[in-house]
Amino acid sequence: MSDPPTLPSRRKVFIAVVVALLTATALLFGVILPAEYGVDPLGTGELLGLLALGQARPIVSEEGEYRVDQVELPLYPGEWVEYFYRLEEGGSMLFTWAATGPVSYNFHAAPDGAPAGYAESFDGQESEQGHGTYTAPFSGIHGWYWENVGAGETTITLTTAGFYTSAEEGRARANGYKDLTDIRGNLIPSLP
Amino acid sequence: MVSPVRPILVCLLVAGLAVLSAGATLHAHPMEGTNAGFVQSVDGPALGPFLYLGAKHMVTGYDHLLFLVGVIFFLYRLKDIVLYVSLFTLGHSLTLLFGVLGDWSVNAYVIDAIIGLSVVYKGFENIDGFERVFNVKPNTKVAVLVFGLFHGLGLATKLQEFMVSENGLVANILSFNAGVEIGQFLALAVVLALLGVWRTRPSFLTHSFVTNTVLMVGGFLLAGIQVVGFVLFS
């Protein structure tokens, strides 16, 4: 291929750069900043109805009954307990728990209508505390399994607030904590 | 005869794409939602997912794509395309690897603004701006390598935001990097196919000046978004 015919004139290049810069600036301030950052220096965001796009929605209203619960769950060494909630899809729950000794935990959920033995585990490790929010990915039961992995007695204090319809405890004395199953008959994996 | 309507239509179309891509970059670019949640929870090598994320990042990363379009715009021979794309790959792979491994803390807004300016640079070079305005002919090979280094830093900051675990870090970076190359290859194939068709028509040379001006618009936009983001959020 031969070289491009001729170089564009200097003036043409200047105009191109200025036009590019002005176009970009106009689009940036007129459209993108209102839509993406909720910043509206020219008032065009309001005019075009773009402003709503850039503003986060700090409030999400939820269906269902609001509940607050606090429980204390004492555990002997090697003993386990489950505590679970009924949440509809999209329902959320704010939680905080702390144990007085080392525990291993597993947060898992079983969707409605799932075959016995099916549960999805979302989080699990050894820790003495956990805090956060949980939003149910599906309707079903959702909750913790805790096991006392320390040498002494420990007590877990769990506080939750959210849009769940029931809170229930399930536990059994550990028999050497082998082949533990949860309330649905799921085998609970032994954690490292 | 080229009707006067056509260039205007082309401009509008490309400008529209530039706006959409600039907007999409804000969100499509950092890993978000379930992908981010996954990456944060990774502890150990996860080659498949990082390969996918790397490819996805490139295919949806309009700043990298616009730059590449600028780079290959006037490259007609396969040999040249391979050479320039290899230089770009070398550049971004180096800073991606060392940036994450060395835990360099670079401001993502600043890097992304420079990446936006790299698109402006390429458009300006393609309209022979350097010869015309500054009377210099920049070394295009060095330029693509140097901007490749900045693009790699951008990739590194994205990965750093989410990579929590040191476990399997090197394997995960390398598979992310391999994914980036796969995504780049796929995107280039599409761009080259389109350019190839367009180049056979006389409209290519007629509109190449306008197209590269629009490329500069896209670059200025990308840079502007990041500069404002830096001012507002850093």
Question: What are A84-107's pLDDT values in tens digits?
Answer: 888 888 889 999 999 999 999 988
Tokens of A131: 């805090």
A117 or B230, greater pLDDT: B230
Question: Is A154 within a domain?
Answer: yes
A139 and A74, same domain (yes or no): yes
Rounded to whole angstroms, the Cα distance separating B123 from B117 reads 10
pLDDT over 50 (residue B61): yes
User: Which residues from A are below 8 Å from B121, CB to CB?
Assistant: none
Binary contact (A13, B229; C-beta < 8 A): no
A80 and A49, same domain (yes or no): no
State the pLDDT confidence band at B196, using cuts at 50, 70 and 90: confident
Question: What are B20-44's pLDDT values in tens digits?
Answer: 444 444 433 444 445 655 555 666 6
Position A173 scores a pLDDT of 42
Question: Is A125 within a domain?
Answer: yes
Position B50 scores a pLDDT of 83
Position A154 scores a pLDDT of 92
Question: In degrees, to the nearest 5, what angle opens at C-alpha B56 toward C-alphas B16 and B151?
Answer: 75
Nearest CB partner across the interface for B132, out of A5, A7, A33: A7
User: Which residues from A are below 8 Å from B232, CB to CB?
Assistant: 37, 39
A48 or B148, greater pLDDT: B148
CATH of the domain at A152: 2.60.120.680
Position B31 scores a pLDDT of 44
Question: What are B41-60's pLDDT values in tens digits?
Answer: 666 677 778 888 888 888 88
A161 and A87, same domain (yes or no): yes
Task: Quote the ipTM score.
Answer: 0.71
State the pLDDT confidence band at A155, using cuts at 50, 70 and 90: very high
Rounded to whole angstroms, the Cα distance separating B218 from A20 reads 8
Pick from A116, A169, A172: nearest CA to A143: A169
A94 and A146, same domain (yes or no): yes
Question: What are B205-228's pLDDT values in tens digits?
Answer: 878 888 999 999 999 999 999 999
Rounded to whole angstroms, the Cα distance separating B51 from A66 reads 43
Rounded to whole angstroms, the Cα distance separating A82 from A183 reads 8
Distances (CA, A) of B27 to A63, A184, B156: 29, 40, 17
* N-terminal to C-terminal alpha carbon distance within chain B: 52
Rounded to whole angstroms, the Cα distance separating A53 from B16 reads 18
A162 and A96, same domain (yes or no): yes
Nearest CB partner across the interface for B216, out of A14, A17, A25: A17
Nearest CB partner across the interface for A28, out of B74, B128, B224: B224
Give me the count of residues in chain B.
234
For residue B216, what are the β-bridge partners?
none
Which residue in chain B has the smallest CA separation from A13? Answer: B129
Q: Collapsing DSSP states into helix, strand and coil, what is residue A75?
A: strand
Position A114 scores a pLDDT of 76
A1 Cβ under 8 Å from any chain B Cβ: yes
User: Which residues from A are below 8 Å from B25, CB to CB?
Assistant: none
Rounded to whole angstroms, the Cα distance separating B128 from B123 reads 9
Rounded to whole angstroms, the Cα distance separating B116 from A132 reads 37
A126 and A40, same domain (yes or no): no
Structural domain count, chain A: 2
Pick from A135, A152, A160, A169: nearest CA to A99: A152
A159 and A88, same domain (yes or no): yes
Which residue in chain A has the smallest CA separation from B18? Answer: A24
B132 Cβ under 8 Å from any chain A Cβ: yes
Identify whether the C-beta of residue A171 lies closer than 8 Å to the C-beta of residue A79.
Answer: yes
Domain that holds residue A25: 10-54
